[in-house]
Structure 1
Amino acid sequence: MNIKLDNKMQLLVLFIISTSLLTVAQSIITTGVVYLMSDFSVSSTQAQWSYSVFLLVVGVMIPLSAYISRRFTARKIFFFSLSVFLIGSIICYFSNSMIVLIIGRILQAIGNGVIMPYVQILLLRTTPEEKWQTYMGLYGLVIAIAPVIGSFLGGFVITVYGWRALFSFFTIATIILLGLGAIFVKDNAPTEDYPLDYLSVALSIIGCAGIMLGFTNVADFGFTHYLVILPIIIGIVTLILFVNRQSKLEKPLINLSILKNKYFSVGTIFICILFACLNGCTAILPIFMQGVGNHSAIFSASVLLPGGLLIIAFNIIGPLLTNRIGIKKVMIMGCVISIIGFATMMMYTQNSSFEFMAITQSIRFIGAGLALMPATTWTLTMVSDKVEDGTAVNNTLRQIFAAIGSSMAVVVMAILAGGAIGHNSASVTGFNQTSLILLILHVIMLILTVLFIDDKEKIENSS
């Protein structure tokens, strides 16, 4: 399917704006976790499900992205994803329990899981490969702005008006976008009659959900409880069956054979670790600042705002630097700067100043911004002839690891704090030690970069 050139720009602009809105919904709730704990009388790990379940569902939906992009027009994808998101937002606004809120978040995530990978596929389909770093940098710039500004405004809105006001905003904004879509999204390009293997869909959902459920239950039951072990075993076995089935299908749900490309696999591993750490920090930092430091939601959002603005800038600087000095140098810079950022997080105390935390988080965000888009684009160029499948595999795995990272970071911090997070020195120690673990993961990313990642031309010439 090829998008008409005269329709390309309006499609890209409206899809990117919509994806930005839906991406805001993913992390904005983290600034209100403490308030959810109070309103619904739940623990931090239970309240964290409002965030983790979003990541999980998006991860489960993304395997369908290759099928969806081949089977449906941009118009159908746009209206389905935003309509489901709208219903989820309304349910969240009226929720009277944690369960109802989670149901609404699941529907929001389904909408995000459909539109987010599609807009990336749409962009890569309509731009030449030699321009991918530049265009992906611009895409990353726009996508990054909304969550950062949204996180700051979210902290303010929650503090002043309460967390329900967030979902009234999503409802109104989505209705406006649906109206714009009715006017501007006219794409009805021919689609491919691509079959959907329902057994593969079921296996992928059970496998991903089982692994995530098991890891999330660690916080409440410990590592040896059957509610932890059994879901993980079921998830692993189901995913093995899923992988075996894909190899036997003429048109698989996901073409996993691209993982035989060593460089694509290394890039995907790098991105998975990066997203696990990013989302782990997104989960534990508000808990630390609000639950351990006794600060407000707007304080924690303000601490992250400067770094968030910097990651916006470095989402475009990273790809531009890659075009000038090469992927390896940029990725090494990103890893080293991130390691410095996590090292400073190990120094946090209950009395750490706003300025110290804002500066050190800015360092971490610069490192992440340098590496994120170059790594993603480089990984997809390794399988540029199979961009739909590459996007599906890459995005699916990174979302699953993002969900695992957000859940496990909270779990590990709670365990290292002695089982409960509060305004005490044990919780500070738990946060510092969790930061050390995230630092070690970035050292692994640095090693992968030094050993395997290089410009595509050099890799092709050496092979």
Structure 2
Amino acid sequence: MTATPETTETAPPGGRTRRGMTVMIGVLLVAAFVMVLNETVMSIALPHVMADFSVPASTAQWLTTVFMLTMAVVIPLTGFVLQRFASRAVFAGALLLFTAGTLLAALAPAFGVLVAARALQAAGTAVVLPLLTTTILTFVPVQRRGTVFGLVSVVISVAPAVGPTLSGVILSAFGWRAVFVAVLPVAVLALGLGLVLVRDIGTPRPLPLDLPSVLLSATAFGALIFGLSSIGESTEGHALLPPALPVAVGATALALFVRRQLRLQREDRALLDLRPFALRPFSIGVVVLLIAMASLFGALILLPLYLQNVRGLSALETGLAVLPGGVLMGVVAPFIGRLYDRVGPRPLAIPGAVVLAAALFLMAFLFDERTGALTVTLLHILLTLGLGFLMTPLMTSALGSLPQHLYSHGSAIMNTLQQLAGAVGTALFVTLMALGTAGAAAGGAPATAAQAAGIQQAFLVGACVAVVAVVAACFVRGPETRAAQAVSGGDAS
């Protein structure tokens, strides 16, 4: 029998104490923070890796591309994995993969080994994030979820912001291998604590694995991420394939994957159950969140280019310039979570979307070859503040609208689409920048002014897209228990 939200959210299940659940979620948060931090530490270290292994930039970029590819392939499987296997075993397996990948990266004798190590790290990261959100949805009472999801937003926002800065500090004193050496003991500690403190969520079910769905999922999301991420390389003439080819293959495979899941979910055998989209709070929340994530990733790719290529800052100075925004977003996230618990999502999501759009418009009109670093930092703070008012309310309301048996699938869907949104945002902003730069150069503008014009064009289009988020935020609503029960009841029958 499927439990309703009212009966599953009032107390920790299985006789577990509230303190025990708090400690368990804390361990998962630490593990997730280290893993997400690791995702961005290589951005500044790439030139050092290129020099050590004598590889060009287009090859070195695979260290970030393979991470995104692996995440995109593994995350859709986590809905099945979290239902099929015990949570403690899933956590241990994920941390073992991540720890092994980190050690292998620190010792990598060749570039190919380093790429394989990054894939192992990404596989572990892809599993832990949905496990964290599923655990929160299962054990945290509905009236406190905003506060706890605020801590998840800290992980998502602060870790990527701290990563490049931490990497720059380590690289200034040691080599690139020290970046992985610094992460390794924390990963080992998280693994040890997890083996002791992490407990199972529910009872594993002997679900069959549909191999055609696995192949379609890997092809769809892997090809889409690869195609979108290679758009930036194609503008420089370094892409291995025309980006349109993998994007077309991925889109076709995605259509086939969705069709198969819709059929299999009628028999409760779907690899990724798509019934969360039947709930309006989930669908609208995901749409607004994806626009926000695309804007965030687009800004994260353009700001370093602007600061280094247009304003002439060093890599470390660039990392320090964008650090305050990420830290502020992490600082305000818990307070926004508490506000969500009091007022719900809409009073927070609407001003958050407005601030996001306003920050992008200001970047579009103010970023030129004379703009000071302080102005860039302040506008980045404004951008992250808007994102802070969006992420926690949207994640909490969207996932909180689901019945319990769809928690793992909803988490997998949201995390998968966030990866896709990041790739779309990056591709969109980079392409628009390249087109704007080429147009300005053709008109006779100097190289620096031409790139500034291209960056302005990218932010302007991004701001127009963010206006869609403002409109959609007006329709955001909190979890609808009746709707969740209707989906749950329909499934049970």
Same-fold call, TM cutoff 0.5 = yes
Structure 2 counterpart of 1:208, from 199, 216, 221: 221
Instruction: Check 1:49–1:420 CA distance in 2 against 1; reply closer, same or farther (3 A cut).
Output: farther
The 5 Å alignment of 1:3-82 reads 4-6=15-17, 7-33=20-46, 35-36=48-49, 40-43=54-57, 47-82=60-95
CA distance in 1 between counterparts of 2:440 and 2:184 reads 35
Task: Quote the residue 1:242 is aligned against.
Answer: 257
Structure 2 residue identity aligned to 1:16: L
Structure 2 residue identity aligned to 1:453: V
Instruction: Check 1:46–1:374 CA distance in 2 against 1; reply closer, same or farther (3 A cut).
Output: farther
Instruction: Check 1:319–1:260 CA distance in 2 against 1; reply closer, same or farther (3 A cut).
Output: same
Matched-pair contact (CA < 8 Å) for 2:69–2:225: yes
Q: 1:407 offset after TM fit, Å? A: 4.0
TM superposition score normalised by structure 1: 0.89
CA distance in 2 between counterparts of 1:83 and 1:446 reads 42
Task: Quote the residue 1:454 is aligned against.
Answer: 477
Task: Quote the residue 1:285 is aligned against.
Answer: 303
Task: Quote the residue 2:291 is aligned against.
Answer: 273
Matched-pair contact (CA < 8 Å) for 1:3–1:187: no
Deviation per CA, 1:304-359: give whole Å up to 9, x if none.
Answer: 12111210122223233333444222111111111222123222234432221111
Task: Quote the residue 2:394 is aligned against.
Answer: 375
SS in 2 for 1:424: helix
Structure 2 counterpart of 1:359, from 348, 355, 378: 378
Q: 1:459 offset after TM fit, Å? A: 10
Instruction: Check 1:225–1:165 CA distance in 2 against 1; reply closer, same or farther (3 A cut).
Output: closer
Task: Quote the residue 1:394 is aligned against.
Answer: 414
Matched-pair contact (CA < 8 Å) for 2:164–2:319: yes
Q: 1:409 offset after TM fit, Å? A: 2.9
Task: Quote the residue 1:427 is aligned against.
Answer: 451
Which segment drifts farther, 280-289 or 249-258? 280-289
Deviation per CA, 1:45-65: give whole Å up to 9, x if none.
Answer: 654443343233222211112
Task: Quote the residue 1:311 is aligned against.
Answer: 329
CA distance in 2 between counterparts of 1:293 and 1:459 reads 54
Structure 1 counterpart of 2:355, from 333, 337, 344: 337
CA distance in 2 between counterparts of 1:213 and 1:189 reads 36
Q: Which runs of 5+ in 1 are unaligned?
A: none
Matched-pair contact (CA < 8 Å) for 1:55–1:402: no
Aligned length: 459
Matched-pair contact (CA < 8 Å) for 1:334–1:368: yes
Deviation per CA, 1:133-158: give whole Å up to 9, x if none.
Answer: 22212332355444433443222223
Instruction: Check 1:313–1:244 CA distance in 2 against 1; reply closer, same or farther (3 A cut).
Output: same
Q: 1:417 offset after TM fit, Å? A: 2.4
Which segment drifts farther, 268-277 or 83-92? 83-92
Task: Quote the residue 2:490 is aligned against.
Answer: none
Deviation per CA, 1:5-51: give whole Å up to 9, x if none.
Answer: 144233212111111100101122233345556665534x6544433
CA distance in 2 between counterparts of 1:404 and 1:169 reads 31
Q: Which runs of 5+ in 2 are unaligned?
A: 1-7, 487-493
CA distance in 2 between counterparts of 1:301 and 1:79 reads 33
Q: 1:275 offset after TM fit, Å? A: 1.2
Instruction: Check 1:57–1:361 CA distance in 2 against 1; reply closer, same or farther (3 A cut).
Output: same
Task: Quote the residue 1:438 is aligned against.
Answer: 462
Matched-pair contact (CA < 8 Å) for 1:318–1:371: no
Matched-pair contact (CA < 8 Å) for 1:337–1:367: yes
SS in 1 for 2:438: coil
CA distance in 2 between counterparts of 1:255 and 1:433 reads 39
Matched-pair contact (CA < 8 Å) for 1:18–1:177: yes
Deviation per CA, 1:262-294: give whole Å up to 9, x if none.
Answer: 332222111112111212222222232223333
Matched-pair contact (CA < 8 Å) for 2:398–2:479: no
Matched-pair contact (CA < 8 Å) for 1:32–1:297: no
Task: Quote the residue 1:417 is aligned against.
Answer: 437
TM superposition score normalised by structure 2: 0.84
Matched-pair contact (CA < 8 Å) for 1:20–1:146: yes
Q: 1:167 offset after TM fit, Å? A: 1.3
